[in-house]
Amino acid sequence: MAQEPTTKIARARRSQDMFGGRSPVLLTPLVDMFVILLIFLLLSYSTGGHLMYMARNVLMPESVSREQLEPAVEIAVATDRIYVDGEVIMDDLTEWYTDKKLLMPVLYENLKLKALKFKKMEEEVPLFHFAGKVTIQADKALPFHVLKKVLYTADRADFPRISLAVFQRE
């Protein structure tokens, strides 16, 4: 049975009286729309790259590489010292400019302790996975034979996945 036109008109007049001549805002569809918009924006938002500690006296080389850095242990090699995760672990590199040995004991011990800590964390935290990643920032004036010793030491200390950080050239 259809409603009579007079009841529809009466209902419309009551609605106008309640809301001062304006139609009511329906909140449920509005909230649904904002939730969908929020989900879309969160899924489409991408944070590229990884912020890393920049050692004060390290001038990195430039590159046209577009690969993004991943979170990892950070080694910064200046011409005179080595930092691991922002802390100075070796103050003087002059002996390593002439030394023929590849393994740097102080760096090795520091990285080995970090690897053991990450492996222990991997056992305790089910979603954590130790991948053996290390990112190396090296001064562009650093001789390659010194950088090779740092690379070798990182690999021996259970950090085989090595990335070299560079400034991205435009």
The identity of residue 100, as a single letter, is K
Is 0.75 topped by the overall pTM? no
3-state secondary structure of 28: helix
Q: Which residues contact 135 (CB under 8 A, 6 or more apart)?
A: 50, 52, 69, 70, 72, 73, 74, 75, 162, 163, 164, 165
How far is 66 from 114, CA to CA, in rounded Å? Answer: 29
| pLDDT, tens digit, 9 for 90 and up, residues 29-52 | 889 999 999 988 887 775 555 555
Tokens of 48: 């590229």
pLDDT tens column, 77-89: 988 899 998 899 9
**How far is Cα 93 from Cα 82, in angstroms, rounded to an integer?**
8
